[in-house]
Structure 1
């Protein structure tokens, strides 16, 4: 019997789990090595430090967009992060979606699993050949989504990489 391979991943952790601090200054942090390595393997230009600053310094509670980074040379390689800040969220929860080409999937899976297993706030981890949440998130044919709890109109911001 052939096993169906995993190519898509969904992870929910605290935004703080995506960086490692090495000092007390505002910029004394770096991207978590596991997530940064996975992003680089996928051939993407997602800057975790920039996203972290965007989330904490520029995004108000009840707001936050989805950022998607697509590899224009390999359409299966994608990283997306939903940075909506729920009104009652005190853990700074973000949702991460990753898709990998079959040749990279097992390596990316190991890195994402290490990220999740070492996270201080482990909310959800899913992997499958095709995740409905993933397809719903990236449906470009719909207008911005209005978040019920705040009325915020969430945008999907797409960046082509490679």
Structure 2
């Protein structure tokens, strides 16, 4: 009897938005490991733009979902939820990622290093099927009201 191995190529990560960048004095740059992940997967995400977009609103209760597809159509995807919950004081951000690449081991090492160096290590899950990723990819769910009694409607943006 042969064994069937189910690959766990999907990830759900939760860290502080501040962990996506590195500060040196007054200057900030994208986290080196996270930038290496996106470069290896050919996912056209601008970490600095996401960071600025997240902090563009002075108050909690705002933020949209952004989905980035690999440029080489290899199936790798990043989905990030920039919504800031009304009671969130740590700027927690949910990232979901599917890795379809021959460089899987290299990308995994950078992804793990990114999480291990984060100041707010809330979640790092490696799974074969991410419900969170599927929800963020489902365009039919948007626009949607994220929190009851709050008039903000979260939008869904796809970047290719």
- RMSD over aligned CA atoms reads 1.6
Structure 2: distance between partners of 1:66 and 1:50 = 14
Seen in structure 2, the aligned counterparts of structure 1 residues 9 and 152 have a Cα distance that, compared at 3 Å, is same
TM-score (structure 2 length as normaliser): 0.90
- Native 8 Å contact 2:44 2:71 kept in 1: no
Distance apart, 1:102 and its partner CA: 4.5
- Native 8 Å contact 2:9 2:127 kept in 1: yes
Distance apart, 1:75 and its partner CA: 4.5
SS of residue in 1 equivalent to 2:113: helix
Which runs of no fewer than 5 residues in structure 1 stay unpaired? none
Which runs of no fewer than 5 residues in structure 2 stay unpaired? none
Distance apart, 1:78 and its partner CA: 1.1
For residues 4-15 of structure 1, what are the structure 2 equivalents within 5 Å?
A: 4-15=6-17
- Native 8 Å contact 1:6 1:105 kept in 2: no
- Native 8 Å contact 1:7 1:102 kept in 2: no
For residues 122-161 of structure 1, what are the structure 2 equivalents within 5 Å?
A: 122-149=121-148, 150-160=150-160
Distance apart, 1:66 and its partner CA: 0.7
Structure 1: distance between partners of 2:10 and 2:17 = 20
Distance apart, 1:22 and its partner CA: 0.9
- Native 8 Å contact 2:67 2:158 kept in 1: yes
Structure 1: distance between partners of 2:105 and 2:97 = 12
Distance apart, 1:145 and its partner CA: 2.0
- Native 8 Å contact 2:81 2:93 kept in 1: yes
The list of structure 1 runs, each at least 4 consecutive aligned residues, that deviate by more than 6 angstroms after superposition, is: none
For residues 11-50 of structure 1, what are the structure 2 equivalents within 5 Å?
A: 11-24=13-26, 28-50=27-49
